[in-house]
Structure 1
Amino acid sequence: MYISINRKKMISWFICIFLIMVLSLSYLFIVTHKKHQCTGDKCPICEQLQLAEHIIAQIKTAVLPAIILLVSNIFVYESKKNVHIFHESDTLIKRKVRLND
Structure 2
Amino acid sequence: MPNSDVSKQKRIAAGIIGMLMIIVMLFSAFYISTETGHDCIGEDCPICACVQQCENVLHKIGGGLAFIISVIAPVICAIICAILFVSDIQKQTLISRKIRMNN
The normalised TM-score by structure 2 is: 0.58
Tell me which amino acid in the other structure corresponds to 1:39.
I
Corresponding residue pairs, total: 63
CA RMSD of aligned residues (A): 1.6
Structure 2 gap ranges (5+): 67-103
Tell me which amino acid in the other structure corresponds to 2:7. I
Q: Please list every run of at least 4 consecutive aligned residues from structure 1 whose deviation after the TM superposition is greater than 2 angstroms.
A: none
- Where does residue 54 of structure 1 map in the other structure? 56
AA of the residue aligned to 1:36: H
Q: CA deviation at 1:3?
A: 1.0
Are 1:3 and 2:22 matched, yes or no? no
Query: Matched residues in 2 for 1:14 and 1:42: separation?
Result: 36
Q: Indicate the SS of the match to 1:21.
A: helix
Scaled by the length of structure 1, what TM-score is found? Answer: 0.59
SS in 1 for 2:62: helix
State how far apart, in whole Å, the 1-side matches of 2:21 and 2:40 are: 29
Q: Could you say which residue in structure 1 is the equivalent of 2:34?
A: 32
SS at match of 1:11: helix
Distance across 2 between alignment mates of 1:41 and 1:27 = 23
Name stretches of at least 5 consecutive residues in structure 1 with no aligned partner: 65-101
Structure 1: distance between partners of 2:28 and 2:20 = 12
1:41 offset after TM fit, Å?
A: 1.5
- Structure with the bigger RCO (C-alpha within 8 Å, sep 6+) is 2
* Separation of aligned partners in 2, 1:44 and 1:35: 14
Superposed displacement of residue 2, structure 1 = 1.5
Aligned to 1:41: 43
